[in-house]
Structure 1
Amino acid sequence: MLSLVGFSMIAIFMVLIMKKKLTPLTALVIVPVVIATLAGFGPELGTMMKDGVKEIAFTGVMLIFAILYFSLMIDAGLFEPLVNLILKGVGNNPIKTTIGTAILTTLVSLDGDGSSTYLIVVAALLPLYKKQGLNPLVLTCIIMLAGGIMNILPWGGPTARVMSSLKLGHAEIFVPMIPIMAVGIAWVLVVAYILGYSEKKRIAKEGKFLDYGERDILGDGEAEMRRPKLIWVNFALTLVLLGIMIFDVIPLGIAFIIAFCIASVINYPKLKDQQKIISKHAGNALSVAGMIFGAGVFTGILNGTGIMQAMGNSVIQVVPSSWGGALNTITAIFSVPLTFFLTNDAYYFGILPVITATGEQLGVAADVLGRASLVGQASHLLSPLVPSTYLLVSLAGVEFSDHLKYTLKWAIGSSIIMLLSALMLGVI
């Protein structure tokens, strides 16, 4: 019964946002509250939602100040040399631009943090996409595809959860996945070429660029907000910030708060300019933070009611016992919808142990099932339950529903490629 409630909740949520009947924020809150109340959980909802918001609150704070920090740096002109360098490399060729997007995202994703990847790559490339008249959905699609593959890095989150849940090391779980990741990145490069070629044909056919926004290569900031003389100071500050993030010196949210305050004082000593920066970008930061806290409400209800666990168990139960010999393949296939509709914590700490216990009885090794469970990460970042996804679409100025519809088929393609390569190479 609980699993039916859960799947109905997810289905209604997806339909409402894809049909654009509700914004993601309102759907994230209203849908679970209404359905959980009708299911008899009304009296406990307050505590569930509070717990969900508590768990995600620090992420929301981090994203608020990360947006403010990088928005300030864009206004100050920090990324101008990088954008100009990329422009010289790709010229006016959409194919080079999209392939460059995939390569840049792969490199930046080495830090294992999706939010920082989105902030850096979108800040660097969105002005270029606008200049060339490329659809920004192409940008968000490629970033998400490359980020999904790189999310398998041990410090990215999912792999660490697998190792912790199954009490295995990176040699058993991650190292065998390296060639699969290489195949996945190769696939992303192919997709980038296809999308770039498609955009190039469209532009050639129309004889002009589509109007996707302001063409100012540095964004829409006013010229008086540029600080070219401070570019090396801002660069050094950003490097320190990224170093703190990579080596986990202090919590990332705190690091962004401090960095934003320092950057504000250095670049804009006058109080009115500091206030202008905050006012200018507060709307974007608040929009993202609102969706983050909405996602906290959603997951809080799913976890508190036991719906999330029930959904995972019901999927396991529908697999016939005669299919036990193919448990590795089944695990990889089901990891796609399960990691899409469930949080990583719920799947890897709640569902995977049940799968591995079943595998133990059937003679399927835990490390094989652990690696199989990572196949779904190729499309996980497209899930509406992933907070950083809302940051990506907000930065790129696209609707989440449009991003979902545009990227879904390519994300499923990534999962299929990962599955086939893992089976052919004997990794799972």
Structure 2
Amino acid sequence: MLLAITGFVMIGLLMFFLLKGKAIPMTLFVVLPILGAVINGYGLTDIAGFIKDGVSTTWSMAALFVFVVTYFGIMTDVGMFDKLVQKLIRIADGHVLGIFLVVVLIATLGHLDGNSPTTYLIAIPALLPLCKKLNIRISAIMAVCCSVITVMNLVPWGGVLNRQSVTLAMDSGLLWRAYLPMQIFGWFCCVGLAVVMSRIEVRRGAGKVAVLAAGESAEAAADPEVLALQRPKLLWYNVILTVAVFVLLFKTSLPNYSIFMMGCVLALAVNYPNPKDQEARLAAHAPKVISLVATVLSAGVMVGVLNNTGMIVAMAELIIHILPDFLCAHLHLVFAFFGGFIGLAVSPDPLYYGILPVLIEVCAQYGIPAQSVAIAFGIGADSCFTLAPVIASTYLGLAVSGLSLKEHMRFSFFPLWIVGLLMIAFGCVMGYIVI
């Protein structure tokens, strides 16, 4: 009981302080779980083990952040995106809806591999300068992009189905066939969200800047210090280098961070041959890198404590025990409805290896098939995972978009949650999810 209550209090405090802006994530990720573990009687040796296990799951993403942020910072410095932005502005001609539909298409194709970091890297950096020119809020672009990621995440090789197939002891391809109608419906919901977001942005004045921006000379508007960093004669080198980086991401099994590490070295060596200039570029992008890496490594502390103490399963069992019988008969729908909130606080492994088996066992007593339980819970919990503070890829999206976690959660939570609920409702109405 104490373990479960501690977990609820920890997560409640985490969300409160994050959304109120009363503390930075790094502080909360370190202080709250350690206090929670101490309250439940764990000693320093145990806590040290929890931290080691948790950080081991996030260090590679932290390393990726170092080189991703630096690489795209260098590409921005040298002006690689300028020509692309000017071309896109002329093509868009102020049509904001077209930009949002491009986001849907890019995110759909980018997430075919089920890899969120790759999708962020493909979709956001190239569009970010364009959105600034057209006065489109990047938070709206991120909301649409994240909605597509959550829908496309339900592929056989994605994290949700891979974990669920282990729990259900069935082939992930067969499980995907059951998910597919909801996934297709969800994709059209993403298109609908793109339409809604584009209309909201147009009402705010987005797109009206396009005509003016397209006719401006970038050189005339730029700061002399910015111009000094640009390398227009090396445009094709930088484009080819960036294409090569993404080809390696898709076509090889090399760690992502090693690919961007090599990209950073080649970008710096050719664009800024002088070692002092290279050091200056690294120093210029260091503040954002340090903040993100510290946050991601700190998130590993919370992940380690939540997973290794059994706190997540204890919380699920407490909810099940206090619910009235008539709700227990529809427990999978209860957890599906609140799945967006659950997915914010719980990393995927305890979700599908800890909570899901408990749900399946309880629902079986009321004749609910395990597959229906898995689908309902999977869609619900997956709907807002792109906002989860305990998932490292969230911070990559924040890094490339320039948003804070608070801004991202406040803007995107309800649109993403509603898309998930619509998918669940569609599954219930069509009989794919047993009620």
User: What TM-score, normalized to structure 2?
Assistant: 0.87
| 1:106-185 aligned within 5 A | 106-185=108-187
Residue in structure 2 matching 1:375, options 371, 376, 379: 379
In the other structure, the counterpart of 1:59 is: 61
Pair 1:216–1:189, CA change in 2 (3 A): farther
Paired AA for residue 188 in structure 1: C
Paired AA for residue 420 in structure 2: S
Q: Which moved more, 1:1-10 or 1:118-127?
A: 118-127
SS in structure 1 at match of 2:379: coil
- CA distance in 2: counterparts of 1:168 and 1:424, whole angstroms: 25
* Alpha-carbon contact 1:165-1:349 (below 8 Å) kept: yes
- CA distance in 2: counterparts of 1:271 and 1:422, whole angstroms: 59
Residue in structure 1 matching 2:391, options 375, 386, 391: 386
Paired AA for residue 175 in structure 1: R
- CA distance in 2: counterparts of 1:384 and 1:68, whole angstroms: 22
Paired AA for residue 275 in structure 1: E
Q: Which moved more, 1:93-102 or 1:398-407?
A: 93-102
Pair 1:324–1:32, CA change in 2 (3 A): closer
* Alpha-carbon contact 2:25-2:295 (below 8 Å) kept: yes
Pair 1:164–1:144, CA change in 2 (3 A): same
How far the C-alpha of 1:339 sits from its partner, in A, is 2.3
* Alpha-carbon contact 2:333-2:377 (below 8 Å) kept: no
SS in structure 2 at match of 1:312: helix
* Alpha-carbon contact 1:70-1:119 (below 8 Å) kept: no
- CA distance in 2: counterparts of 1:37 and 1:328, whole angstroms: 33
Pair 1:244–1:362, CA change in 2 (3 A): farther
Pair 1:165–1:252, CA change in 2 (3 A): farther
How far the C-alpha of 1:374 sits from its partner, in A, is 1.9
Pair 1:76–1:380, CA change in 2 (3 A): same
Pair 1:175–1:80, CA change in 2 (3 A): farther
Residue in structure 2 matching 1:353, options 357, 366, 370: 357
Paired AA for residue 253 in structure 1: Y
- CA distance in 1: counterparts of 2:296 and 2:275, whole angstroms: 30
Give unpaired runs (5+ residues) of structure 1: 210-214
In the other structure, the counterpart of 1:212 is: none
In the other structure, the counterpart of 2:427 is: 422
Q: Is the counterpart of residue 105 in structure 1 residue 110 in structure 2?
A: no
- CA distance in 1: counterparts of 2:5 and 2:252, whole angstroms: 40
Q: Is the counterpart of residue 287 in structure 1 residue 291 in structure 2?
A: yes
Q: Which moved more, 1:87-96 or 1:160-169?
A: 87-96
In the other structure, the counterpart of 2:342 is: 338
Q: Which moved more, 1:10-19 or 1:147-156?
A: 147-156
The count of residues paired between Structure 1 and Structure 2 equals 422
Q: Which moved more, 1:108-117 or 1:318-327?
A: 318-327
Q: Is the counterpart of residue 265 in structure 1 residue 284 in structure 2?
A: no
Residue in structure 2 matching 1:203, options 181, 202, 205: 205
- CA distance in 1: counterparts of 2:24 and 2:408, whole angstroms: 14
In the other structure, the counterpart of 1:13 is: 14
SS in structure 2 at match of 1:168: coil
Structure 1 runs (4+) deviating above 6 angstroms are 215-221
Q: Which moved more, 1:12-21 or 1:143-152?
A: 143-152
Paired AA for residue 387 in structure 1: A
Paired AA for residue 302 in structure 1: L
SS in structure 2 at match of 1:86: helix
Pair 1:32–1:219, CA change in 2 (3 A): farther
Residue in structure 2 matching 1:235, options 235, 239, 244: 239
Pair 1:356–1:172, CA change in 2 (3 A): farther
Give deviations 1:127-156, integer Å, cap 9, x for gaps. 111112222321222222222222222333
Pair 1:100–1:295, CA change in 2 (3 A): same
- CA distance in 2: counterparts of 1:404 and 1:219, whole angstroms: 33
Paired AA for residue 23 in structure 2: L
Paired AA for residue 346 in structure 1: P
Pair 1:23–1:88, CA change in 2 (3 A): same
How far the C-alpha of 1:409 sits from its partner, in A, is 1.5
In the other structure, the counterpart of 2:312 is: 308
Give unpaired runs (5+ residues) of structure 2: 211-216
Paired AA for residue 18 in structure 1: L
* Alpha-carbon contact 2:8-2:315 (below 8 Å) kept: yes
Q: Is the counterpart of residue 398 in structure 1 residue 403 in structure 2?
A: yes
* Alpha-carbon contact 2:339-2:383 (below 8 Å) kept: no
Paired AA for residue 420 in structure 1: A
* Alpha-carbon contact 1:74-1:123 (below 8 Å) kept: no
User: What TM-score, normalized to structure 1?
Assistant: 0.88
Q: Which moved more, 1:39-48 or 1:192-201?
A: 39-48
* Alpha-carbon contact 2:156-2:173 (below 8 Å) kept: no
* Alpha-carbon contact 2:106-2:123 (below 8 Å) kept: yes
SS in structure 2 at match of 1:133: coil
In the other structure, the counterpart of 2:27 is: 26
In the other structure, the counterpart of 1:74 is: 76
Give deviations 1:167-211, integer Å, cap 9, x for gaps. 21133211332332222222222222222212222228xx989xx
Pair 1:292–1:316, CA change in 2 (3 A): same
| 1:189-228 aligned within 5 A | 189-203=191-205, 222-228=226-232
